[in-house]
Amino acid sequence: MAKNTITTPVKDGVKADNSGYSSNQIEKMVSSSVDGLINDEAASEGSLYSSAKIYSMLPEATKSGSPASISDASPVPIVSLSSVINAIQEGTGIPSPDNVRLISARNKVNITFEGTEYIRGIEFNLGDNIYGGTVNLTTGVLTITHKYQVFNYESDWRYESIAAGKNFYVACDSDIRIEQKFGDMICNASPVNANITSQRDTCFISTGRNLNFTWGDSLDISSAAAFKEYLQTNALSIEIVALLTTPLTVQLTPAEVLSLERGSNTITSDSGEVTITYKKLIG
């Protein structure tokens, strides 16, 4: 549906094509109830438009970030709010067998709204353990883009000697996308890269849908059996969070629609980048 945008200053009470109320008058019409929805009954008889019409005519803007900062919000319900969902990885530094950084899922997303006069929050339940995706809080649509898989000493590891060093590889689940590299996946015991011919001490998923764990001389092992023994002796499992070939969609219950504070607002998610579409101030 096409948006009607007010492009000229509005004089309250004066009827004109594509006109409405000024932003100051709109603020007066905002209900004092908790949900912050515009109150049609607050407008006098013979008003130019109902509050629903006025809301539809306000221009929209979209901001993304971590956090997302806006300075021109109209104090009416937001249009859309979504958040990236990233898995949690413990610790700091580059993951390696000597610096294992465990991976865990998220089962909720916490959003914080901070204005000049208030700080509010939303805790949105994801309904399950999610390792990667996006959620639209206003529609309740959860898109799952990643999955978790773990390999241990009992997994069917294979070995090959290559130019970059020693490559230990194992088949991934059939729904994991092939040719994954930096930015697509994470690993608890290795950095992620894509170039097997020049990179050592790295991992990636190949065209054969294998997890390749490629290490140089720092790992003095030259057979699959020895690698399995190494994993068992050190109680080490190789964890990955990798892209799915086909994302999954789940319908959840939408969050209650919130209004922003007039003017400046900062929106933060604890799980990743947030994107908000909101109504802008006019006049």
Q: What is the pLDDT of residue 174?
A: 95
Question: Other CB atoms closer than 10 Å to residue 235's CB: what's the count?
Answer: 9
> Which of 4-18, 100-114, 217-231 shows the lowest mean pLDDT across its residues?
4-18
Inside any domain, residue 141: no
Stretch 35-54: mean pLDDT: 53
Residue-wise pLDDT for 57-92, tens only, equals: 789 999 999 999 999 999 888 999 999 999 999 999
Q: Where are the beta strands (DSSP E) in 92-140?
A: 103-104, 106-114, 119-130, 132-136
The domain boundary residue, chosen from 38, 58, 78? 58
> What mean pLDDT, rounded, does the chain reach?
82
Inside any domain, residue 143: no
DSSP-derived secondary structure letter, 97: T
Residues 258, 34: contact at Cβ < 8 Å? Answer: no
Residue-wise pLDDT for 174-189, tens only, equals: 999 987 777 789 999 9
What total of structural domains would you count in the chain?
A: 2
Residue-wise pLDDT for 113-141, tens only, equals: 999 888 999 999 999 999 999 999 999 99
Inside any domain, residue 281: no
Inside any domain, residue 263: no
* H helices present in the chain, as ranges: 23-29, 51-57, 224-233
Higher pLDDT, 266 or 49: 266
> Which of 98-102, 181-185, 274-278 shows the lowest mean pLDDT across its residues?
181-185
Inside any domain, residue 212: yes
Range of the domain at 3: 1-58
Share of the chain above pLDDT 90, in %: 57
Residues 182, 194: contact at Cβ < 8 Å? Answer: yes
Q: Is the pLDDT of residue 11 over 60?
A: no
Separation of alpha carbons 267 and 84, rounded Å: 13
Dihedral, CA of residue 172, residue 176, residue 179 and residue 182, to nearest 10: -100
Inside any domain, residue 269: no
Higher pLDDT, 139 or 165: 139
Q: What is the pLDDT of residue 34?
A: 35
Q: Is the pLDDT of residue 262 over 80?
A: yes
Inside any domain, residue 275: no
Inside any domain, residue 226: yes
Contacts of 59 (CB under 8 A, 6+ apart): 3, 5, 6, 279, 280, 282
